[in-house]
Structure 1
């Protein structure tokens, strides 16, 4: 790892995750809240107020995630690529922040570079970077804040003022991303700084007034703006989302979430946690005695995220991300002290395992694209994927590259997976309806009612872009509301809501349905893919009143 550049690792992260992230190979349900609101912001110019696709107000999350989606739309136009671009960049920046934090704490390039490689290959960071939802932003800004905490733990009361800026600005931006979780971790961290017995920080030193004041302005800007525009009632839905809907009261559910949080906190450091299992207890004690304050701080944040995750009504692995950057630095420190870089056979086995998985992914991609219409870019991606697999195999004998090769082999799985999902998911329904609207010369500025799956509706809204006003309507309100619109888009299961005597109805989008993936395989093998796709695929119809 001697000549490894952190900029190269960040670039590799963006390029290998990018193909999977920047089109809707997979669409996470919560993305619709942010992209639907951002499309409306582009249309109206109101960048403060957030709306659902039904044009109802939504105040459950602070504004910053919406602005990241909006920034992509303003820079690149309303496209899937634009909706996720800055979230992918946030993932790459998180890798860089982890590297900087580890280098700051230990002044050891081995620990810093290993931290970056572990962070780059962490499944939760990779998946979060492919979605336009708050989690990767929260992780990035908490990593930024962690650098501030690390600065105080490293230099004590002599810490330069820049670490106060890192600490409080990171927390402020994190608060504008997701609210109370940032405040909770910030409070825990600040209490630790001023109360821990190993390297106690003076209150006036920790709370550098200019940094605190600027950060308070950033943190509460949107909340004050919403109070000014909409009054106190907007707080009801925000508080319900932050506390009421998230806090579980059933003991079995709490215990289940607690177990999952502890398990995933360890297992998701795959394969790195395997290298640190042997002698963990002894090594933990050793590291604690070397850096009591840092180890205590990491343990406090990990316990905090586990307890908070245990109390939610539904647990997701992405809830762990706020503390993963800090934990990654500690894990890298543990592994270096545990002699990871000398465990050549173990690292080679891990590399072989992930190379094997990549070969399987390549074969599946070849199967799909050989039997279905493809394009030159996908075949170019296949060639690059195959060459990178060969590179991993060829470099396995360079022992000091093994951590880098393992990290890249994990990232490469996502690069390769997009070759297969291209055939299953792309072009998505939104892009198909965009083509249909252009071919049929649907008038710009038309109002369109939508009845169907809301997640697909979000993709269709992005496909149509800001030139059309598309509004989600419920089945129960369809008959009374549809008359106010110029056109209608419906999912197949609601097709009976449209009378052929009153509407000109045409099929506008047809996609494979992932629920019938086995039938897709069989159809490809039997040579009747289009017939089976028509029978089992997802269909959306465009209708014009006669």
Structure 2
């Protein structure tokens, strides 16, 4: 089977962007931690201080280094303050991670079958896809660790004769990863460097490894923000950073550590869906063969996997995205294992997997038609439905082509996310921020107004993006709201807090109403019964605009 024919890494990257993009570039889903970075980026636009991150409450936040904030800020500066702008560079980082995996596997194996399969596995990895749809540090950490992976692979391949480009890739990748998330990058990078220096199969001399231009550049990049924060704020900022990196994230209970370790070990296998299924046959014997064939590379992968499992086990709350930094390196090893296990010849199993994902796509396709048939939709959504249907037809046709089965499986996973956004369009969009944006424009709310906000902070983050830098919105909490709200020109308040407003002194108008995803069942039934607006009004999320009389 000539699966290496007609494969283009650039088309694979483009497919990732186009199919994940609709789900990523509007708030179909809004991950809680995104508010820290988008809120801070809006504040940076307003106050001109691009070094110091601020929360929506105007408190400083030093828990993460600066680079993630700058990625959001760059999107806002180039494209304006929109959901699209907050996430575009994270989507591109996820897409380019696929390119680094392809590059690294080509460097080490010089086998197009392995590199092509590695790229397809990486492109369809659920953790990469989900992380690419969020403006949080994890996809950037994975991206820069993938960049350093190419550097590590270069040393594992060429030893002490490694070209200088691998020094730059290794050290710059680690430095940028450190400026994204701090200690996880330092821990994995330090272990990787020690492995290069000490492993008995491909030991690198320290004089060959330490290339002063790349090392010094990396040190400057990695230390920049920390030096800047010490210069501006003194040593107190370190307390918040260390607490987040070590204190509050490290679990002390053995039962919790054991549970996290078990979950992490299971997920690092299962999340290679469906590819891990193809490696079950003769896994033990194939792994031994791979170790004897390339002991230095296999040992490196094992070291990093064990390290990330232990780090994930030690946190107080485990998330699957914590595994992302080692997934690029692991993906290359998995692709190698599957090629050695003759995955390309296991036609029936490949076709069964493709048919399974086609079935899921059909279910999602029908759900999308259902929601958009009963609710007001747009030409662009129906065009997306038509493209989605065409993609399913294409996959059915390619299921008969044995040479394209691995490509089709990866595409079927990506197509699922493309299709899900058709239904979430009706549930989530326009988000509350866009409703408030429209309200402020229609009511000619003066730019520069000071606005108090009381409600769910995640929705508040969407509203801050909707209003943009022309309005100064501050998050208040239930404890300080009564004392402070009168200091502001306007108030935006969630319905459950509305009783705290003295109605005789204020004019109150509904400014945003969205479906609540918790009531998706009621939403579907209401469409059949023809009373969706009534049910939406009863169960939806409401935010009110309040102004003094």
Which TM-score applies when normalising by structure 2? Answer: 0.99
Q: Does 1:72 align with 2:53?
A: no
Q: Does 1:334 align with 2:337?
A: yes
Corresponding residue of 2:163: 160
From 401, 405, 411, give the equivalent of 1:402.
405
From 218, 224, 228, give the equivalent of 2:227.
224
Q: Does 1:93 align with 2:96?
A: yes
Give the secondary-structure state (helix, strand or coil) at the position aligned to 2:249: coil
How far apart are 1:541 and its partner, in Å? 0.2
Q: Deviations over 1:428-487 (max 9, x none)?
A: 000000000000000000000000000000000000000000000011111111111000
Runs (4+) off by over 3 Å: none
Q: Deviations over 1:193-244 (max 9, x none)?
A: 0100001000111111111100000000000000000000000000000000
Q: Does 1:510 align with 2:513?
A: yes
How far apart are 1:400 and its partner, in Å? 1.1
Corresponding residue of 1:239: 242
Corresponding residue of 1:432: 435
Q: Does 1:313 align with 2:316?
A: yes
How far apart are 1:493 and its partner, in Å? 0.3
From 454, 475, 478, give the equivalent of 2:478.
475
State the alpha-carbon separation in 2 of the partners of residues 91 and 57 from structure 1: 28
State the alpha-carbon separation in 2 of the partners of residues 405 and 38 from structure 1: 39
From 413, 418, 422, give the equivalent of 1:415.
418
How far apart are 1:148 and its partner, in Å? 0.6
Corresponding residue of 1:280: 283
How far apart are 1:105 and its partner, in Å? 0.6
State the alpha-carbon separation in 2 of the partners of residues 330 and 82 from structure 1: 35
Corresponding residue of 1:346: 349
Give the secondary-structure state (helix, strand or coil) at the position aligned to 2:451: strand
Q: Deviations over 1:488-538 (max 9, x none)?
A: 000000000111101100000000001111110110110000000000000
Please list every run of 5 or more consecutive structure 2 residues that lacks an aligned counterpart in the other structure.
Answer: none
Give the secondary-structure state (helix, strand or coil) at the position aligned to 1:501: helix
How far apart are 1:43 and its partner, in Å? 1.1
Q: Does 1:187 align with 2:179?
A: no
Q: Does 1:32 align with 2:31?
A: no
Q: Does 1:146 align with 2:149?
A: yes
Q: Does 1:448 align with 2:451?
A: yes
Q: CA RMSD in A?
A: 0.5
State the alpha-carbon separation in 1 of the partners of residues 282 and 400 from structure 2: 27
State the alpha-carbon separation in 2 of the partners of residues 324 and 268 from structure 1: 10
Corresponding residue of 2:208: 205
From 261, 281, 284, give the equivalent of 2:264.
261
State the alpha-carbon separation in 2 of the partners of residues 117 and 268 from structure 1: 14
State the alpha-carbon separation in 2 of the partners of residues 165 and 134 from structure 1: 22
Corresponding residue of 2:113: 110
State the alpha-carbon separation in 2 of the partners of residues 27 and 104 from structure 1: 37
From 16, 27, 52, give the equivalent of 1:13.
16
Q: Deviations over 1:316-357 (max 9, x none)?
A: 000000000000000000000000000111100000000000
State the alpha-carbon separation in 1 of the partners of residues 504 and 207 from structure 2: 76
State the alpha-carbon separation in 1 of the partners of residues 518 and 43 from structure 2: 32
Give the secondary-structure state (helix, strand or coil) at the position aligned to 1:449: strand
Residues 122-131 or 495-504, more deviating: 495-504
Give the secondary-structure state (helix, strand or coil) at the position aligned to 1:232: helix
State the alpha-carbon separation in 2 of the partners of residues 476 and 263 from structure 1: 42
How far apart are 1:409 and its partner, in Å? 0.1
Corresponding residue of 2:325: 322
How far apart are 1:395 and its partner, in Å? 1.1
State the alpha-carbon separation in 2 of the partners of residues 160 and 477 from structure 1: 59
Corresponding residue of 2:274: 271
How far apart are 1:131 and its partner, in Å? 0.1
Q: Deviations over 1:223-270 (max 9, x none)?
A: 000000000000000000000011001010000000000000000000
Corresponding residue of 2:64: 61
Give the secondary-structure state (helix, strand or coil) at the position aligned to 2:336: helix
From 365, 369, 372, give the equivalent of 1:362.
365
State the alpha-carbon separation in 1 of the partners of residues 52 and 458 from structure 2: 21
Q: How many residues align?
A: 546
Please list every run of 5 or more consecutive structure 1 residues that lacks an aligned counterpart in the other structure.
Answer: none
